[in-house]
Amino acid sequence: MSTDLVTVDIGGTHARFAIATIGEDGAITLGEPETLHTDDHASFQTAWEDFRKRMGGTLPPRIAMAIAGPVGDDVIRFTNNPWIIRPALVRQKLGVDDYCIVNDFEAVAHAVARAPEDQFLHLAGPDQPLTDDGTISVMGPGTGLGVAHLWRSAGEYRVQATEGGHIDFAPLDTIEDAILARLRKRHRRVSVERVVSGPAIVDIYETLAAMENRKTREEDDIAIWTRALEDGEGLAAAALDRFCLSLGSVAGDIALAQGGFGGVVIAGGLGYRLRDHLPKSGFAQRFRAKGRFGELMATIPVKLITHPQPGLFGAAAAFARNLR
C-alpha cells in the first residue's frame, strides 16, 4: 500500500512544499512543488496553512521536514530565518498524525543515497560513480553552506548531518587575506559560510573592487550573481571565479575532515546554477591542493546532483526510512 505525505524543504529564503507518494516498493514520487518566501509568512504554521489552501483545503496527515538548522532540541531555530518549530506541538498545530524532521543537508544526503547515477553531473576527479562502500561528503552553497555525509555498504546507508559550514575560513592567497580582513570588521570569527554562500558574493565583489580602487553602488547578491552568470561583466565575473576557487578549497577540506574519499557531491540551487562554470574554473585545482594529500584528493570523484528538488526528495526518503 502506498503512503502519501507532505514533504517540505525550509531554507533561509524559501520554503518548498510538495505532495510525495512512497510506493509499496519504496519508490518515491514527488508532485509539483510550491515555493513560498519565508519573509512572506510569520511562521511555518501560516506557510503550511497557505500551502493547504493552495491544495484545495486538505493535505495528507503526514509530513517530512528538511530544516536549515540544527535538529533535535525542544525548540528548533533556523540558522538564516526567524521561524521556530516546537516538535512536540507539530501534530497539534498542523493537524498531522506522523512527522519526520531532519536537517536540510541530511535530507540532501538521503537524496544522494537514493538518486540514480544519471542524476549526477561529473565536476572533477576521476569520472566514475560514487562509491557503494565508503563515505561520501555532501555540501552545497545557498543562503548558507550546508554540509552532511553518508556511509554506504552492502546496499544500506546511513546519513549524518553536520554543521560543517561553520568551520573557520582559511585563506590561501593575498586576495583571500583581503576578503578575510573585510569580513573580520563585522565578524570576530569568520566561518567558511561567510565566503562560500550566495550572499558571500557581495563581500568578494566589494573586496576586489577596493583592490582596484573602484567605487561601487550598494546592491544585493542577486544582482551580482546575475551579472556574473549572465552578463559576464568583468568584476562580477572575477568575483565568481574567486567564489569557485574558495568552494573547491572548502570541498576538499570537508572531504579530508569527513573521510569522504568515496566521493564528494555538490548540491543546492546555487550549486546547480554553477554547473557549467565549475568544471571550467579553478575549482578542481583548489580541491586537490592539499599538500601531501594532493595525490589522494585527485582520486576522489566530485559530482553535482541534478535532481530538481533534492531537499524535498530527501526529506521524503528520510520519512520512508523511518517508516520502514
Give how far Cα 164 sits from Cα of 59, 70, 138, 255, 308, Å: 35, 11, 10, 11, 24
Among candidates 142, 140, 225, 242, which has minimal Cα distance to 182?
242
Rounded-to-integer distance, Cα 96 and Cα 61, Å: 4
Residues facing residue 30 across a β-bridge: 20
Rounded-to-integer distance, Cα 276 and Cα 306, Å: 12
Rounded-to-integer distance, Cα 147 and Cα 141, Å: 9
Numbered residues of the known binding site for ATP:
8-13
Alpha helices in the chain (DSSP H): 44-54, 90-94, 104-114, 174-184, 200-211, 221-226, 234-258, 269-273, 283-288, 294-297, 310-323
For cell 542577486, what's the residue? Answer: 222
Rounded-to-integer distance, Cα 161 and Cα 63, Å: 19
Rounded-to-integer distance, Cα 64 and Cα 67, Å: 10
Numbered residues of the known binding site:
8-13
Q: Are 108 and 148 in contact (CB under 8 A)?
A: yes
Rounded-to-integer distance, Cα 198 and Cα 83, Å: 20
Residues facing residue 302 across a β-bridge: 124, 264
Among candidates 232, 136, 152, 250, which has minimal Cα distance to 194?
250
Rounded-to-integer distance, Cα 5 and Cα 18, Å: 9
- Start-to-end C-alpha separation, the chain: 13
